[in-house]
Chain A
Amino acid sequence: MTIEVRNLVKSFGSFKALDGVDLKVDSGELVALLGPSGSGKTTLLRIVAGLDWPDSGEVFINGEDALAQGARERHVGFVFQHYALFRHMTVFENVAFGLRVQPRTVRKDEAAIRARVKELLDLVQLDWLADRYPSQLSGGQRQRIALARALAIEPRILLLDEPFGALDAKVRKELRKWLRSLHHEIHVTSIFVTHDQEEALEVANRVVVMDKGRIEQIGSPDDVYASPATAFVHGFIGESIELPVEVEGGAVTLGGRPLRLTADGLAPGASKLFVRRHDMLVGPPGSGAFEGAVRHVRNFGPVQRAEVALSGGQTIEIDAPRDKELRAGDTIGLEPRRYRIFAG
């Protein structure tokens, strides 16, 4: 099943939630909509589900005009951030709900419903919770039940709105892996919304980065990390050093001082230089494009993070390998191994 949206626009009062969005999702894909809050990702998802309506634009599910149908007819599985389980029903009845409300002509008989619910509870590995109520479950268990409930109607597509947003970090990581392997197993075309880049890069086949109601970049997780298309994407994904520079005839200056960096083919004017923290190589003073004094060093994980005051006055944070000895007060040279310059 494919999903396609064309030129979607949606405003809430004076706030433009979606500002001309085009997106195509192929059959069997697992796509992440990634962006900060207010970027329009949840609105996009709700419009595809039929829970919200666009001001203009088109939505197609498997080639059919979805805007001609209500949420009920679209046959879309939707998983909410706060689970939205029916609190007065047992886990079993929650999962069975979609099967029980079907029109009498197509409704399965009781035995078939029981068998299907059992199958789904096995799939999410929670068959032992069938008689509990949602309030007796942990957050992670609730979200898995919500997923089983959405899958019960054999949805054409699956939409997940910040599915792990309300869970603590450890459970979130487990569920991430679990969702990916589940998708591998059932292969339903899925879109999930998240503001957590790690989650998007780890789970999705393709990542759609959004900001202010527009799509900034669509690409594989590798693409959006290694070759960000815009300054926003570079700043949002991965940890970056951002410096305001001037470009003039292929040369780059920072606060009037020339940097030994090239900017061939870039329009002259104020620009932004982006370097990943771990792409700043440390050398002796005078050896690189930058020079600065180390202010603090903190050691954690595989790297040491140093705060460096550049001679131009800016303060940046770099990640250096732990075998490189850095101490507060040292003067060091810095050379970016890779960098990107964006106009603006």
Chain B
Amino acid sequence: MTMQIADSIPLSASDAKARAQAAAAQDNLRTEPRAVRITIIALAMIFLTIFVVLPLVVVFAQAFSRGVVAYLAALAEPEALAAIRLTLLVAAISVGLNLLFGLVAAWAIAKFDFPGKTFLITLIDLPFSVSPVISGLVFVLLFGAQGYFGSWLRDHDIQILFAVPGIALATTFVTFPFVARALIPLMQEQGTQEEEAAISLGASGLQTFFRVTLPNIKWGVLYGVLLCNARAMGEFGAVSVVSGHIRGETNTMPLLVEILYNEYQFVAAFAIASLLAMLALITLIVKTVLERHLDEGQEPSDH
């Protein structure tokens, strides 16, 4: 494999002239006529504009359709503020829990061999493959008045459904895979040698985790947390089933957007939607930065 690459590129590949030659040679390999190339690229651009850029523009256009004052007033509504607060709270809870679960699961899968490991890896993906509505229904079945724990919960006066705990649980379930998925391949690739080295140098388990393991996976952790957070704030289906839509109490931002829209309050609906859209844009930018760090962390192996 290496030999073939070495053969096809001049040996003095480090010098700029040879590199230019190689680039020219590569250019010649593109046999498609110019017109075909332009058509394909144009098709892709048009598609992207209609399905991605245009909706984004429309969201902001609608939000500001009656001016900045109306936009800000819509966001300052008590109902809107309550939804924003609830969304932030739920996201904080589910990201925190999934950070913990994800780290533990990835650690167990990447660093140890145990029976049922493949099953566990498959199971981690379950929330991605199940429709969010069903994820929400599962919690209704478990904690609802007619559910398995329903009577016990009522006896002890604990409210889970149609309250913050239910929303947080459903969101945590739906967003569980993000941190674990980001970390498993990273930790598997890094192996256990650095940890072994740390322990043989006298480090305790906690010292090994905080001084060796965590610094090695920090970009992966941030990446997982970022995606987990974006999904937690944007989750609609599962939350809609368990929330009960109590205005000012159990409405998250996505739920409020739908309610306002159904009530023809377009400015208010799109004002909230614009916040979610901004979250998406920021997530995208941070994601790109993190991916660059993740790539840099990948040390080229030299053997």
Contacts and interface: CB of A to CB of B under 8 A. Distances in A.
Q: Interface residues of B toward A: which range?
A: 20 to 34
Interface in A106-164: 134-135, 139, 146, 149-150, 152-153
Given A82-B193, A86-B194, A86-B212, A97 B200 contact: no
B303 A139 contact: yes
Given A87-B216, A88-B215, A101-B207, A82 B303 contact: yes
Interface in A72-119: 72, 74-78, 80, 82, 84-89, 97-98, 101-102
A300 to B, nearest CB: 23
Interface in B190-205: 193-194, 196-204
Contacts, number: 76
Interface in B261-300: 297, 299-300
B203 A72 contact: yes
Nearest to A97: B201
Nearest to A142: B302
Given A82-B303, A101-B211, A149 B193 contact: no
A78 B204 contact: no
Contact of B202 (A85, A102, A146): A102
Given A78-B196, A101-B211, A87 B202 contact: no
A63 B259 CA distance: 77
B114 to A, nearest CB: 14
A166 interface: yes
Nearest to A165: B303
B302 A84 contact: no
Given A72-B199, A78-B196, A87 B204 contact: no
Interface residues of A, number: 32
Given A88-B216, A101-B211, A166-B303, A72 B204 contact: yes
A135 B204 CA distance: 26
A101 B196 contact: no
Most-contacted residue by chain B among A74, A75, A85, A97 (CB, 10 A):
A97
A81 to B, nearest CB: 9
Interface in A46-66: 49-51
Contacts of B211: 86, 97, 101
Interface of A: 49-51, 70-72, 74-78, 80, 82, 84-89, 97-98, 101-102, 134-135, 139, 146, 149-150, 152-153, 166
Given A49-B200, A85-B194, 10 more contacts: A71-B196, A82-B193, A86-B212, A88-B215, A98-B203, A101-B207, A134-B299, A135-B300, A150-B201, A152-B201
16 contacts: A49-B200, A70-B199, A71-B199, A71-B200, A72-B203, A72-B204, A78-B200, A82-B193, A82-B303, A84-B197, A86-B197, A86-B215, A87-B297, A88-B216, A97-B211, A166-B302
